[in-house]
Structure 1
Amino acid sequence: MAWSAIDELRPAFEATRGLLLPFDLRRWLALAVIAFFVSGASGGNPGVSTTAGDTPRDESPVAEPPPPIDGPIAIPEINLGWIILAIGIAAAIGLVLLFFGAVMEFVFVRVVTDRDVRLRTHTRENVSNGATLLLFRIALVLGIAILIIVPAVVSLFLLSPLFLGLLAILFVPILIAVAIGIWLVHRFTVDFVVPVMLLEDRGILEAWGAFWPALKEEWKQYGVYALVRLGLGVVAGFVAGIGFVAIGLVLAVPFGIVAVVLYLVFETALGLLSIAIGALAVIALSYVLSVLIAGITLVQAPIQTYLRYYSLFVLGSITPPFDVVRSLRSTETDQTDAG
């Protein structure tokens, strides 16, 4: 019995090579933007906290004993309004990122199947699809959270500590099973249901309904895909880690040289320590952003492109009515035979 999850490894690679080569900067940057969202990559702005004291270098500061405290210690007032505002802003930013991540799942399918990197056009066309996928993801997470948290809270208040410990031990396999189920639902939704939504212009539940009979009929094929896809994810993470480290080491040389030169100029030659520290902070931030951008463009974009092609080729191989890469499949086969 032929396993599509094995047979489609090479065709997916050939399709990826056909999209990425010859090198086109606009295409690679567009794929990098998509990869940033669909892979869950995020970059933080590192904060650099520095203080410059006025203590002479040849004198040691003498600590004076604190004055005696009379009366109760004053506790600084906590402004709950600012805390709520900060939480709200963070939640809004996270929700926006999640929304664009959902939209980019559909944009990615369009880009790799049409080999057209018009991000704005594809994004506008898939706003409603992205909103639907985001709501599905939120509902999935909330459903699982209720399924786990409610019994745990009830058990915590009603059961004895000993029985609660035994229940926790029994609950671990359930948690593992739930985690696997969540991963499978999410993986199959992104890899198979999203293309069905685009191919047949269906909502997410309707697309699941259309895909479900094929999943039940070919459950062994899709089961093997899940195992292979899990392995590919591990390998992809390992390769991405090596790629980011390599890019970081390469970029560390020029950024390090610039940092040393600026420090020597501002601190050693001019005695401007605060300006030197500020310049180093700017260089450090620029270095982190450069590593992030280069890593996503040169590492994550090819990896995510291959994984997306792989899922589409497997879907078309197992269930031909949902083959969205049929034209690419014949093209890549002809090029391979010609080579």
Structure 2
Amino acid sequence: MPSNIDSVSAIQDITDAIRATTAFLSPPDIQQYVKLGFLIVFLGGVGGIGPVQLLTGIGNVDTDNPVMDEPGSNTASFSDMLTTLDNSELSLIIGVVVVILLCFIGLLAVGSIFEFIFVEVLRQERIKIRAYWRQWWRQGLRLLGFRLVVGALTVIPIAVIALTVVIPLITSGNSPSFGVVIFALGICVTTIILSGLLTGLIKTFVVPVMIIQDETLLTAWQRFWPTVRSEWKEYSIYLIIRFVLQLIIGIATGLILTLSTIIFAIPAILILAAGILLGEATGIIGITLIIGAIFVFAFGILSTAILAAVPIQIFLRYYALFLLGDTNSRFDLITDRRMSVRKS
């Protein structure tokens, strides 16, 4: 049964999570950081920003393109593109799409299993990735199935709405009304928010319940949901605080990565310049220096991102585990850490 607690645990647990994170990472260990960084790369990266979010910023559309001003030009080019493709080209396109989709599902599967491994690392306070993988890969695949279903339920209505709005523009050049666009955007944003909220609750709270109860996802959700209903104030406060923390973390990490970009760009530019100059005389040395410049820059940014991401993600997960144990003692995975932090 949920414990009878004050409605401020979601605030008090922030301090406990900070202390637990500091204790977990003390004393500093490079090998431990590397292993944790490897896990966190598949768990969303710095501040929960993953590859999907990064890929959305492809670029800006040039609205002054004269081709866009001609209603029939889009239809002609689109039709021409379809008619000029033969069977081999269509097969190649389909094959590329299938390969990309399989790679995405593979990465999602690894990330789903790593969700259990990450919680188990904090629970046992030992980083044993292979042992925990053997222990939790089945539960991880169950989480993968859930994420695929939620993803499909999110993408399908968004795709239908998008096609409903875009098809008239492609086929006839008629732009949809402002009200239709606003309605479509509202549905898409609402769907994405609800999907993200549900997936976040599952990964943050239901995964620990699955671990401690050794149950399936649906059964763990059924056990967890009464706690949410009885302690809805705590979880509402948690969601608000988590949102604010994500904003603060996003801004802070953005500044850190910007600063590190400037710092590592200086030696990378110097090495690159030397490579270009030497490349005219000795091609091999020049190419080696150019590759070295790219490596220095990429390694510096990646190292900085991992260095920042490790304590951030540990803190966020500890924060959720503290709240989960406070709202229901049966779901407490970090009893020893909780006691040691609150004694100090």
Q: Shorter-normalised TM-score: what interval? A: 0.7 to 0.9
The reply to whether residue 7 of structure 1 matches residue 12 of structure 2 is yes
Please state how far the C-alpha of 1:35 moved relative to its aligned partner: 1.0
Change (3 A) 1:163 1:301: closer
Please state how far the C-alpha of 1:203 moved relative to its aligned partner: 0.8
- Contact 2:324 / 2:331 at 8 angstroms: preserved in 1? yes
- Contact 1:32 / 1:296 at 8 angstroms: preserved in 2? no
CA distance in 2 between counterparts of 1:127 and 1:288 reads 35
Q: Which has the higher helix share?
A: 2
- Contact 2:271 / 2:289 at 8 angstroms: preserved in 1? no
Matches within 5 A, 1:106-185: 106-150=116-160, 166-185=179-198
Please state how far the C-alpha of 1:37 moved relative to its aligned partner: 0.6
Letter of the 1:305 counterpart: I
- Contact 2:7 / 2:233 at 8 angstroms: preserved in 1? no
- Summarize deviations over 1:175-231 as a string: whole Å, max 9, x none: 443333212111111110000000100111111111111111111211111111111
Change (3 A) 1:24 1:333: same
Matches within 5 A, 1:100-111: 100-111=110-121
Give the match for residue 54 of structure 1.
Answer: none
1:79 counterpart SS class: helix
Give the match for residue 306 of structure 2.
Answer: 297
Please state how far the C-alpha of 1:255 moved relative to its aligned partner: 3.5
Letter of the 1:324 counterpart: L
- Summarize deviations over 1:42-83 as a string: whole Å, max 9, x none: 599xxxxxxxxxxxxxxxxxxxxxxxxxxxxxx897733433
Please state how far the C-alpha of 1:149 moved relative to its aligned partner: 4.1
Among 334, 337, 340, which residue is 1:325 paired with?
Answer: 334
CA distance in 2 between counterparts of 1:82 and 1:277 reads 37
- Contact 1:36 / 1:296 at 8 angstroms: preserved in 2? no
RMSD: 3.0
The reply to whether residue 94 of structure 1 matches residue 104 of structure 2 is yes
Count of residues in Structure 1 that have an aligned counterpart in Structure 2: 299
2:215 counterpart SS class: coil
Give the match for residue 234 of structure 2.
Answer: 221
Normalized against structure 1, the TM-score is what? 0.78
Give the match for residue 56 of structure 1.
Answer: none
CA distance in 1 between counterparts of 2:337 and 2:94 reads 51
CA distance in 2 between counterparts of 1:293 and 1:153 reads 38
Normalized against structure 2, the TM-score is what? 0.77
- Contact 1:155 / 1:164 at 8 angstroms: preserved in 2? no
- Summarize deviations over 1:272-300 as a string: whole Å, max 9, x none: 3x546533541243134303430233111
Unmatched runs of 5 consecutive residues or more in structure 2? 1-5, 55-83, 169-173
Deviates more, 1:76-85 or 1:1-10: 76-85
- Contact 1:103 / 1:130 at 8 angstroms: preserved in 2? yes
- Contact 2:116 / 2:136 at 8 angstroms: preserved in 1? yes
Change (3 A) 1:205 1:247: same
Give the match for residue 24 of structure 1.
Answer: 29
The reply to whether residue 286 of structure 1 matches residue 291 of structure 2 is no
Quote the sequence identity (%): 27
Deviates more, 1:230-239 or 1:83-92: 83-92
The reply to whether residue 201 of structure 1 matches residue 223 of structure 2 is no
CA distance in 1 between counterparts of 2:184 and 2:89 reads 40
The reply to whether residue 245 of structure 1 matches residue 258 of structure 2 is yes
- Contact 2:275 / 2:290 at 8 angstroms: preserved in 1? no
Give the match for residue 70 of structure 1.
Answer: none
Unmatched runs of 5 consecutive residues or more in structure 1? 45-74
Give the match for residue 93 of structure 2.
Answer: 83
CA distance in 1 between counterparts of 2:18 and 2:141 reads 31
